[in-house]
Amino acid sequence: MPVIYSKARIEKSCPPFLRWAGSKRKLLPFLKCYWKEDHSRYVEPFAGSACLFFALKPPKAILGDLNRELISTYIELKYRSRAVLKKLGKLPVQSHDIYEHLRSLDTSKLDPQYRAARFIYLNRFCFNGIYRTNLAGQFNVPYSGNRCGQMPQEEIFIECSRSLKSARLVCGDFETVLRHVKRGDLVYMDPPYVVRGQRVFREYAPGTFTHADIARLRSWLEILNANRVDFVVSYAESDEADLLRKGFAYEKIAVRRNVAGFASHRIMTNELLISNT
């Protein structure tokens, strides 16, 4: 019987400063249970908004992602949060014209702090927290405006910066991160959904994750298990999830989600939490 998510079960913790399509914030009450006192380090190869990392505030961590802009933003907030916030504070709130201007900029010509501020601004006011680029690598998600809520308070950015001090940040494929894991780690994996026959937005840059990577990820689950490294994977109920969970423990959780990003179109979907613990 699926567990029904209830907002009342969420405990107060450090929220992520980014929006992210497919974020697992609704699963936090369940995911947090996988972290044990004897875990020495938290590892997340598909970081995204890193909502579980910010909720747990582990003493040590590795956060990885293929998205170079994302990792660069985390690095700047980790080491130079005040400079990033100063740049961000100079940008008008919810301005379509500024959004279009920022989106058109060549990021290679921007200083790192302004580049991070640009990423945060576009993330906050784009449609549904989607990160998607064209074949030239240019961010191309449309403006969403006041449907996105306000920019997070400065205190949230500062708290996230403090949490990031404990994290090693890696830009690369999930295997690049998993090669560094060891016994005592908890590895949380929220890979992009590539469910056949369904249109599931999860990762938005060309070539980031395909069906071929599902088999590659499954091989790594076996390696982690053989080396007694604890892991948990979240994935939409599907044939792909069946491949990932074969031989491992799992729980099924029903979560209410918006279809196409609109609150008026809500459905219940099942998520599987697959683990070897």
Q: What is the CATH number of the domain that holds 228?
A: 3.40.50.150
pLDDT at 43: 98
One domain for residues 209 and 178: yes
| Residues contacting 200, CB < 8 A, separation 6+ | 22, 193, 194, 236
Asked if 175 and 247 sit in the same domain, the reply is: yes
| Domain count for the chain | 2
List, for residues 44-57, the tens digit of each pLDDT value.
999 999 999 999 99
**Same-domain status, 222 and 131:** no
Claim to verify: residue 53 and residue 182 sit in the same structural domain: yes
The strand pairing partners of 171, in sequence order, are: 65
Domain range for 240: 3-67+165-275
> In this predicted model, which residue has the larger pLDDT, 137 or 34?
34
Q: Please determine, for residue 222, whether its predicted confidence score (pLDDT) is greater than 70.
A: yes
Residue at a domain's end among 102, 132, 160? 160
The pLDDT of residue 255 is: 86
Task: Verify that 145 and 77 share a domain, yes or no.
Answer: yes
For the segment 72-119, what is each residue's pLDDT rounded down to a tens digit? Answer: 999 999 999 999 999 999 998 889 999 999 999 999 999 999 999 999
Asked whether residue 174 falls in the same domain as residue 63, the answer is yes
pLDDT band at residue 61 under the 50/70/90 scheme: very high
